[in-house]
Amino acid sequence: MDDDRIDQIIDRHQGEASSLIQVLLEIQSEHSWLPKEALTRVSERLEVPLTRIQHIATFYKAFSLVPKGRHQVNICMGTACHVRGAPRVLDTLQDLTGIQPGETDADLKFSLETVNCLGCCALGPVVEIDGTAHGKVSPSEAAEVLKRYE
């Protein structure tokens, strides 16, 4: 991500220090993670110490300081999905991808994340891959779905 693009995002927020979180969210949504160079640029432009940016980037769940895989797998661990068997589905996803929630595999194929409620409780358990929700999945169905992604 080049400095010009980051500058554009910052300018859109009138360069206010209070918009720091919004700026980071926009960078994250375009680039899928926050590279160190981007944070340095934000720090210079908004005149916010890098340590504070690091504090924010590690506190909020939306931010990632490492590159993401090609496919983002979110499994809903909200209460409705939990009582409908989401933990069993998560076990299966972990076994198949070999990674824990919050991690990305070595081939940068999958990033696995647990989320708390996607708001489609009627469909629980829900696994969302690249923004597409797969509802009422059993562990074996989750395995089938995962195979479709390259």
Say how far residue 37 (Cα) sits from the centre of its chain.
Answer: 20
Binds another protein by CB under 8 A, chosen from 56, 70, 103, 145: 56
**Residue 67 CB-half CA count within 13 A:** 8
Binds another protein by CB under 8 A, chosen from 52, 65, 66, 108: 52
- Taking only Cα atoms into account, the Rg of the chain, rounded to an integer number of angstroms, comes to 18
Please report whether residue 139 would count as binding another protein according to CB under 8 A: yes
Please report whether residue 21 would count as binding another protein according to CB under 8 A: yes
Contact between residue 38 and residue 7 where contact means Cβ atoms under 8 Å apart: no
Eight-class DSSP state of 47? T
Residues near another protein (CB under 8 A): 16-22, 24-25, 52, 55-56, 59-63, 77-80, 82-85, 88, 91-92, 95, 115-124, 126, 133, 135, 138-140, 143
